[in-house]
Chain A
């Protein structure tokens, strides 16, 4: 595969074009990898104001009261996207732990189970949340892949 630069003053903003004889799965995967590498920021809302934060600062995304929120170590922001859309876009970095939450796999500190069977997850920033039994094996597989 050839990789080259096309430098011309007409390109005010950098543009990436993937060329191929036909659209294949390989090309689609390349597009995904580039998109993730380039788009490191995510737009969130703080009291109605749009803010851009780094994706790797987000500890978890969770759904509540018909909305989706992003929580970092310092603050919680509103996100204008569905949880399943975020999960699809950020699947390499985030893992689903319940029907209403996805967490940054790199921010997981540890997990434990209580005698009554509640599964706790402890994240960086002193955040504690609950894991659904259904997703425990998915978390394990996600950590094994990284």
Chain B
């Protein structure tokens, strides 16, 4: 399980960093076109950029931290494979473990903790996502299980007839 956890985390980390780089490149190219200034860079939250002497270093660290969030989500996806855990338990543990990563990173990089209202909104948004996902999964699951039970009953009836 740990091997799968690390592998999924590594794949997610790589994907996140790659996507981040492409987005930054696209943003930079658009800004260069608009402003005409070839030295321009995507804007960073000033409180975050103040931690670094060099804006390139700040961008690189931010990209790696995005990768770290990806690693956390990828690695924690193995929780969904634990059959003996209920969906509720899986969702709660997944949320808590991933929040341990994305909350500090978001506070550090994008000043999420600056305004309490924004923090609450993001938290509620994540909670809503988990609730909707859980609801959809349980509905689909129950339909599938009902179909399986119908097939089992039909098989029993056929075997009883034979």
A-side interface residues toward B, CB under 8 Å?
Answer: 97-101, 108-114, 116-119, 130-134, 136-137, 139-140, 143-144, 146
Contact = CB atoms under 8 A, between A and B. Distances in A.
B50 interface: no
B87 interface: yes
Contact of B83 (A110, A112, A119, A137): A119
B144 interface: yes
B27 to A, nearest CB: 37
B144 to A, nearest CB: 5
A27 to B, nearest CB: 32
B147 A132 contact: no
A109 B148 contact: no
Contacts of B149: 110-112
A97 B83 contact: yes
A118 B85 contact: yes
Given A98-B83, A119-B83, A139 B137 contact: no
Nearest to A108: B152
B51 interface: no
Contacts of A97: 83
7 contacts: A98-B81, A110-B149, A113-B145, A117-B88, A133-B80, A134-B81, A146-B155
Contacts of A109: 152
B76 to A, nearest CB: 15
A114 B138 CA distance: 9
Contacts of B33: none
Nearest to A135: B83
Interface in B45-59: none
**Does more than half of chain B's interface fall in helix, strand or loop, or is it mixed?**
helix
Contacts of B155: 143, 146
A125 to B, nearest CB: 16
Residue from B1, B89, B148, B152 whose CB has the most chain A CB atoms within 10 Å: B148
Nearest to A109: B152
A111 B145 contact: yes
A118 B148 contact: no
Given A101-B83, A113-B145, A133-B87, 9 more contacts: A98-B81, A99-B1, A111-B145, A112-B145, A117-B138, A118-B84, A119-B83, A143-B152, A143-B155
Residue from A101, A109, A143, A146 whose CB has the most chain B CB atoms within 10 Å: A143
B145 A114 contact: no
B145 A116 contact: no
Contact of B144 (A108, A114, A140): A140
